[in-house]
Structure formats: structure tokens, C-alpha cells
Structure 1
Amino acid sequence: MDEKIVVGLDIGSTKVCAVAGRLIRNNKEQETLEVLGVGETNLTDGVAKGSVVNVNNTVNAIKRAVADASNQSNLNIHLVNVSFSGSHVTSVKSSGSITRSSSGDEVQIEDIDHLLNDMYRTSIPADKEIIHVLPMDFVVDNETSVNQPVGRNGVKLGADFQLITAQANAARNIRKCILRNNLAQDTMMLSALASGLAVLTDEEKYAGVALVDIGGGTTEMAIYYRNVLRHVAVFPWAGNSLTSDIQAGCKILPNQAELLKKKFGSANPGEYNLNEVVAVPGLSNRKPKDVLLKNVAVIIEDRLREIAALVQAEIIRSGYDGKLLGGIVLTGGSALIPGVEHIFGRVTGVEEVRVGYPEHLEPNGRADLVGDPAYATAVGLVWAGYKTIDNRISFISDPNRAYKEDEQPVGPVRPVYPTGGSTPKSQPSVKAPEPEPKKSWFDKLKEALQPTRGNETDTY
């Protein structure tokens, strides 16, 4: 059993979900995730299209979700891995390189860290922020398409990268919500990447697979090929779009449309006869309204076909059309709609389409709560404490940013706790350390020239 406890916090457009868990290694070296606590709060007016629009409402929702997870797991929760999303998220292809000072030695992981740190300094518009820098293929001297550069001899190290960016204000609002709950953020991760950690297999990532996470406000897509993330896209249509379409098409209230979608929604109109109806309560002193279930299915089918067409266009644009032997994996709450696999298979022409459920959960009652696609992101954020998106790099968030609500730029700190971010409630709570002031090049030069004291050791 791993003593480190990790908490994932998924801030979605319809709900906030907190999941606390730890890694279990059984006799067969099979790793499973033990879910220790789950907290969930509905969020109706705090996040829109994946972006925080009402800080106070979101802060309160986070507070309730974290409190529930804390009570279930009997932990004081300090540190969280948090999701981010939004139609403002973009993926930009870029390349960079460094010249190594020790040409005779092999490339080390520190050289890759140096290159990644440089890429986080890439010039982008002032209203944008680089959230992830993810390498695709490396170059060592004149050798191109290198998958793993560590251990190779060379002077020049370069790579093609995906820079995943978000609006700086949107990222700041998420961090503001975390800070106001007296929490510290370890990693901020794009929702689709977190979901991939929970539902994709290593075999699928190597063979080529498109993960499609149909959330409440956005649909996110991530393409993996040869174990490397190759393409990311975000569409501003998802589960809430289905609800709005049902509301407009059937002329009912939004909460009634949501309930119809969840209880009777289907992407297969042929499943219902023309005379199958549901009585929806009318307004005060008015008669109930009969809604044809076949009409609801037609509306859902039409919107899902549009989303599937966007996915197909993005697969073609990425250059991986016809290369994805692992097919398409659908996750997110709307992946539970009956017939959704058939829609995506028919529109995209991809034969292999499946619904992705969080896998490798240690059986218990709390695991049953988070065992469906709607919780893939929250569970994946817990997995992010134990495994990485890309095992060739040591971090996927900029480790050098300051983390203060009232300053620019803002970003994560990485405080260390005895159990990885959460402590038993009987222990005193630990506060995140204040970030050290940034040193000038002259200060660093003076430190480098000072003699090292023999009996001192560096600590993290």
C-alpha cells in the first residue's frame, strides 16, 4: 500500500467532485486505486463552458465537496490535483532546442527538464497562459524522430511540443477558488488528460486512440499514438447543449429537460414508439405537458451527430485518420446515453468505439460511487499522483511559477506533506509554505562562488 494519499478535485460545468484515494499494490503487482472518500456538489451557476464565471458560487461548491470527501476519509485535505477546461483552451505546436554544455556525456533527464523550462517561457499573447508543455518527438544532434533521448550522446537537444494554453484570467479564477478554500494546488491538469489516466489502457495509447470526454459544458478530445499525446481539441458543445436542445424542442423548463435526458434519453429514436409519452408537470395551475420520447431521442441524436462530426473533422486535421487502431473511447456523463457508441461509429467511420469507465478501482462502496464515466476526470486526477501523462518528463505543470492570488503571474506551488497532501484528522493541519523570492542572476552567481559547507545537506 502506498502511504501517499492524493485528492482529485474536478471543477465541472454541472458539478464539483472531490475524490481522495491511495494506491494499492497486490501480490500480482497489479496496481489498484482505493477510493477513501467522495464528495459531490451540484453547480448550476458557477462554471460555464468549463470556465469559472462566479467565483463565490464555485468556492462554496468546492468547500462542500471537499468537506464531504474529508469526512468520509477522515482526513484533513490540504493539497489537491485540480482539473481545468473551457472552450478557450488551445493546443499550439511549437519546437525548441538547447545546446548542452557537456557534449561527451549522455543526455540526462535534467537536460529534458531544462528544455521544458525554456518552453514554458515561450512568448504567447498576454491574455494567455501555458498550462502544459508536452513533447512529441525529440531531436538529438542530426537524429530526428527520437522517442527517448535519455542515454544518447549529443550536443544539441530539441523537440516538437504541444503547448496547451488557457486564458490567464480563467486559470487565475480556478486558483483563486482553491486558495479561498485554504487549499494548495499540486497539479492543474486538462480534464481530458486526467480522464485518459482513468479509462485508457497502455495498449490503446500505443496503438492509437482518440479519447472524447463529453462533459457538461465542453467536449474535450485527446489523441494518443505510440504512447505519446499527439493532438488536443476542445468543443463548446456537450451535455448542457443536449439539455438546451430538449428544452427548446419540447418547450419545457431546463430542470425538466435535464431530468428527461437522464431518465429517458437515448440516441436511438427507433427505440420508442410514436405513442410513448411522458407527462411533464406544467406551471402552477396548468395541465401537465405530454412529451413524445421519440422526439427527445431525435433531438439527442441530432446533437450527438454534430459533436461526432466535429470529432471526425479534428481526427482528419490531426493527420491520424486511419491510424487509430484503438478507435474512439467515449467518457464523461453523456457517454452513458444509450446508443452513443453507434452514433460515433457511424459518423466517424471508426469501427472500434467503446464507453470508458474508470478502471482498476479497489472494490468497495465508494468505488461504486465513482465507477461510471461521469467521474473519469476526478478519478484520473487521483491517478495523476501516481503516474504521469508522459514518462519521459518529470513535470507537466510549470514548477517555477509563483502562487499568489493578488499577483501576476500566478501558478502552482508544491508543498510536501507526510501523506502526499492529506493528513489524518487527529494530526494538526499543515500550511503550504510561502514561495521564496525570485533570485536575480547576480545572486545566483554569488551563491555559486561561495564554498559549500561540509556538514550541510539540501532538503526539499
Structure 2
Amino acid sequence: MAGEYRARAVHRFTVFAASGRESRHQRGHVRGEKKIGLSRERSLAKKDKYLVGLDIGSTKTCVLIAEIEDGVVRFLALGAAESKGLRKGLIVNLDSTVSSIRRAVEEAESVANVPVEEAVIGVAGAHVRGVNSRGGITLGQRPRDIERDDVRRAVDAARNITLPEDREVLHVLPHEFRVDAQNGIRDAIGMVGQRLEANVHLVTSSVAATQNLVTAANKAGILISDTVLEPLASAESSLTQDERDMGCCLLDVGGGTAELIVYGGGVVRHTSAVPIGGDHFTNDLAVGLRTPIPEAERLKRRHGCAASALMKEDGAIEIASVGDRPPRTIFAHMLTDIIEPRAMELLSLIRDDLKRAGLDGQIPAGFVMAGGGARLHGLDELAEHCFHLPVRIGEPKGLADLPEQVAQPEYATIVGLVLYGAKARRSAPQRGGNLVSKLKAMFAGAS
């Protein structure tokens, strides 16, 4: 029964497409086939027309293909497959991860009629850490106009922190600038001063963990154009500008971990992760009810509730037993008795993290919950009760023709990766010098 349920779970990851598009299966396409007679100029133009996001999660691997036309980013297709080979955002089996990527890519390609050659990939997990830093430069003995290169050098000075050899800077996110004695400057270009300082938020990650993600994608035949912190991508698709300005925490509850990113004054103030995700709820149910993992996942999705006060009825539920034992009957409150303590632990860890960062009371706009774990019934209401702040479920926006089935919290990251890639392409089409630019040619074309 466990294998049967798992097969249905994979089938549930449906390929979504914009309406009116022909499936490549109808055209007999084979992944990796060569295109004859296509000039290099046309190939490059076609490549620049599309954007692909790749989200390798602990529970599912997603590939989203979008088209850029007249400045509009338009959804084309989403392919997804069950993830195998990851635990808490880290690859533990490279071949299984590559296989999951290939399945998701092939499904998306078959609908979009577009070959996936390059993608923006998400990075998440307990190995990702954030820290605030400050650095500055002297502009000269006399005040002068601040130029773009001065801003770049000030930001470089702020990012110049000592890191262990096994860690790298994933993002440098500027907060504000200080010109001489004036604080709170958002854009220093054109101002006059003698000294320029930059306050930034640095996101660092494990070199090995990030490289393993890139390697898995390369082995699946995909070059990686950029690596993006997944909560940053989720915020791109799920937060409003008002929430960023007022102060808001996006909580992305994945399978292995819950990632959080805090905005205030329109910029990122804090990033972190807590070691509890949706899989912990599932495992708790499996152990507590002595039922297989797939059955525990089904029970969580269909009958789970994060707070006993929110239960509407305590009906009888038939569940599968382990091995060849016959099914048993339990009551709904037994699920909540197991889920609620874990939900309270998750929220307590988040509260402690925000207090350590000095952000307690600094997010009046409250919380936005994304990720598959946000679908757990009652988790948002329980969070409102614990934090005494507004909480809403984040539904991704920003892509034209986005199907309703994809405008769900579990797809906030994959939609955000494409939006982030589109914004990066508009602002800085040619970037390099980071780990990705060094690694994206590795295993190119490997299959």
C-alpha cells in the first residue's frame, strides 16, 4: 500500500500549462535532440526569451518555464516530481536528485515546447545564515560627487568579512548608506561627501551544499545562471510593497526546515532557518499512530489540524497499519494531539529567533506563510494567537497567465525564482565572478 500511495503522490504533481499550447509529446520530441538549421543569433534570441526556475525541495522538485514578451513575464508550464535524495535542503543522494530533476524538466518541456538549458536555482536549508555588516570608503580630502563606482566599492567593503573556507557569500543586500554624518540614505549616487558607508545584509551558505545543487542540475543537463535564497524568492512572489515597508516576516515552511526572511523599511533585515518542517509533522504522526509514512502524509493533509481549539468535529478515521496488520479506526483529535505540540515548538523557535535578532515587535505587518507546510489547517490561526500579529497565507503573484492551481503557497518559491531572474536580467544582464559562474560549465551537457 505504501508503494501504491507514493505512486499516486508523484502523479499528483501535475504538469500545469497555459491554455492553448500543444504538448511536445504530440510532436515526438526527444530531450537532448539537436536542432538543425538554427542560426546562433536566432538560438541566442530564443534563449533570452525564456526563463526557467528550478526548486529542489525536500518533498518535491519543480521546474517552471516562463516567457518574457514585451516586458511581461508569462507562465508557460510547470513540471514537478517527487524529490528523492534530499534531507533538510541538503543532497544526500546525488543520483536520485538528478533523476528527480530530469523527471520534472521533461514534464515541463513536454507542455511548454521549450527545451530547458539554463535555470535559476533556489538554495535553502539550515546551512544558510544571515548577518548584518557595515563598511565604508574615504572619497578624498574634499567633498565630491558620489559616483556609481563609489557605491560599489563601499558595498564591497561591507561584504569583506572573514568567512571559513567552506562558506561563501550568496547575497549582498544593501540596507542604507551613510554620507559623512547623514544616515538613512537609500541612493547615495549624486550626493556630495567625503566618506561613504554602506550597511548591508549578507547571506552566506555552505560552499559544498550549494555546489552539490549546481552539480546535480548540471548532471541533469542544465546550466545554472544564478543561485537565489529561497525565502528571498518566495518574498518576491508573495509580499506586497506595503508589507516590506512596514515590517513583515515571510515564513516559508518546507519539508525539512522553515525559512524566514524579515523586511523592514523596504529592505531585508534578517534571514534565518529553524530545523522544523512539514516532514516532522508527518513523521510524528507515523510514529505516534504506528502507520506508514505515506499514510501519515495523507492523514496530515486531509484531517490534520494545528490547534485543538479549531477542530470542528471529532469524527472517526480509518487508517492503515504497518505491515500486513489490518486497518484501524482512530478519531480526529488524536491527530491534533500529535500535531499541536510540534506546531507550538515551531512557532516558539521562530519567536526565539526573532528575539535574538532584536526584531521582536518590529514586524507590525505580521507574518506571511508560504511553502507546503502553510497548508496545515489552523497553523496560521495558531500563529496569530501566539504572536498577536496578523498572519495570512501567501499566494504567489506576478506571472501573467498563472493557473489557479499554481497560485498556491507551495509554489511561492518556484514562481519567485522566475520573477527574481527576470528582475536580475533587466537590471544586470551580464554578471559573474561568483561560485555559479565558476561552476555552471561543470558537467555541461552531462546526462
Which TM bucket (shorter chain)? 0.7 to 0.9
Residues 21 and 398 (structure 1 numbering): CA distance in 2 closer, same or farther, change over 3 Å? closer
Please tell me whether the aligned partners of residues 292 and 320 of structure 2 are also in contact (alpha carbons under 8 angstroms).
Answer: no
Residues 177 and 105 (structure 1 numbering): CA distance in 2 closer, same or farther, change over 3 Å? farther
Q: Could you tell me which residue of structure 2 aligns to residue 380 of structure 1? A: 416
Alignment of 1:36-435 (within 5 A): 36-43=76-83, 45-100=84-139, 105-270=144-309, 271-274=311-314, 276-350=315-389, 352-363=390-401, 367-387=403-423, 399-401=432-434, 410-411=438-439
Alpha-carbon distance in 2 for matches of 1:277, 1:66: 41
Structure 2 gap segments, 5+ residues each: 1-45
Q: Could you tell me which residue of structure 2 aligns to residue 424 of structure 1? A: none
Q: Could you tell me which residue of structure 2 aligns to residue 452 of structure 1? A: none
- In the TM superposition, residue 229 of structure 1 has moved relative to its aligned partner by 0.4
The farther-off stretch of 98-107 and 291-300 is: 98-107
Alpha-carbon distance in 2 for matches of 1:42, 1:235: 23
Residues 71 and 278 (structure 1 numbering): CA distance in 2 closer, same or farther, change over 3 Å? same
Alpha-carbon distance in 1 for matches of 2:292, 2:340: 20
Please tell me whether the aligned partners of residues 117 and 398 of structure 1 are also in contact (alpha carbons under 8 angstroms).
Answer: no
**For each residue in 1:339-382, what CA deviation from the matched residue of structure 2 results, as whole angstroms up to 9, or x when unmatched?**
111110111121x1100001244346xx2331110000000001
- In the TM superposition, residue 106 of structure 1 has moved relative to its aligned partner by 2.8
- In the TM superposition, residue 284 of structure 1 has moved relative to its aligned partner by 4.8
Residues 69 and 372 (structure 1 numbering): CA distance in 2 closer, same or farther, change over 3 Å? same
Q: Counterpart amino acid of 1:66? A: V
- In the TM superposition, residue 20 of structure 1 has moved relative to its aligned partner by 1.0
Secondary structure of 2:115's aligned partner: strand
Q: Counterpart amino acid of 1:9? A: L
Residues 388 and 313 (structure 1 numbering): CA distance in 2 closer, same or farther, change over 3 Å? farther
Q: Could you tell me which residue of structure 2 aligns to residue 5 of structure 1? A: 50
Alpha-carbon distance in 2 for matches of 1:103, 1:41: 60
Please tell me whether the aligned partners of residues 192 and 377 of structure 1 are also in contact (alpha carbons under 8 angstroms).
Answer: yes
- In the TM superposition, residue 292 of structure 1 has moved relative to its aligned partner by 2.1
Residues 411 and 104 (structure 1 numbering): CA distance in 2 closer, same or farther, change over 3 Å? farther
Please tell me whether the aligned partners of residues 41 and 65 of structure 1 are also in contact (alpha carbons under 8 angstroms).
Answer: yes
Q: Counterpart amino acid of 1:6? A: L
Please tell me whether the aligned partners of residues 292 and 322 of structure 2 are also in contact (alpha carbons under 8 angstroms).
Answer: no
Q: Could you tell me which residue of structure 2 aligns to residue 21 of structure 1? A: 66
The normalised TM-score by structure 1 is 0.79
Q: Which structure's residues are more often helix, by fraction?
A: 2
Residues 260 and 24 (structure 1 numbering): CA distance in 2 closer, same or farther, change over 3 Å? farther
- In the TM superposition, residue 296 of structure 1 has moved relative to its aligned partner by 0.8
Alpha-carbon distance in 1 for matches of 2:355, 2:217: 38
- In the TM superposition, residue 319 of structure 1 has moved relative to its aligned partner by 2.6
- In the TM superposition, residue 121 of structure 1 has moved relative to its aligned partner by 4.8
Alpha-carbon distance in 2 for matches of 1:368, 1:187: 27
Alpha-carbon distance in 2 for matches of 1:284, 1:310: 36
- In the TM superposition, residue 196 of structure 1 has moved relative to its aligned partner by 0.2
**For each residue in 1:109-154, what CA deviation from the matched residue of structure 2 results, as whole angstroms up to 9, or x when unmatched?**
3333334445555320112111111121212233223222122122
- In the TM superposition, residue 258 of structure 1 has moved relative to its aligned partner by 0.9
Residues 398 and 159 (structure 1 numbering): CA distance in 2 closer, same or farther, change over 3 Å? farther
Secondary structure of 1:346's aligned partner: helix
**For each residue in 1:158-205, what CA deviation from the matched residue of structure 2 results, as whole angstroms up to 9, or x when unmatched?**
212222111111111011112212322122111100000010011110
Q: Give the % identical residues.
A: 30
The normalised TM-score by structure 2 is 0.81
Alignment of 1:438-457 (within 5 A): none
Alpha-carbon distance in 1 for matches of 2:142, 2:221: 47
How many positions carry a matched residue from both structures?
396
Residues 162 and 329 (structure 1 numbering): CA distance in 2 closer, same or farther, change over 3 Å? same
Please tell me whether the aligned partners of residues 305 and 339 of structure 2 are also in contact (alpha carbons under 8 angstroms).
Answer: yes
Alpha-carbon distance in 2 for matches of 1:24, 1:298: 51
Alpha-carbon distance in 1 for matches of 2:140, 2:77: 49
Please tell me whether the aligned partners of residues 55 and 121 of structure 2 are also in contact (alpha carbons under 8 angstroms).
Answer: yes
- In the TM superposition, residue 34 of structure 1 has moved relative to its aligned partner by 2.2
Residues 344 and 33 (structure 1 numbering): CA distance in 2 closer, same or farther, change over 3 Å? farther
- In the TM superposition, residue 402 of structure 1 has moved relative to its aligned partner by 5.7
- In the TM superposition, residue 81 of structure 1 has moved relative to its aligned partner by 0.7
Higher normalized contact order (CA 8 Å, seq sep 6+, divided by chain length):
1
Alpha-carbon distance in 1 for matches of 2:279, 2:51: 30
Secondary structure of 2:404's aligned partner: helix
Q: Counterpart amino acid of 1:400? A: G
Alpha-carbon distance in 2 for matches of 1:73, 1:281: 39
Q: Counterpart amino acid of 1:84? A: V
Alpha-carbon distance in 2 for matches of 1:286, 1:46: 29
Secondary structure of 1:77's aligned partner: coil
Superposition RMSD on alpha carbons, in Å? 2.7
Alpha-carbon distance in 1 for matches of 2:174, 2:86: 30
Residues 280 and 224 (structure 1 numbering): CA distance in 2 closer, same or farther, change over 3 Å? same
Q: Could you tell me which residue of structure 2 aligns to residue 437 of structure 1? A: none
Please tell me whether the aligned partners of residues 291 and 320 of structure 2 are also in contact (alpha carbons under 8 angstroms).
Answer: no
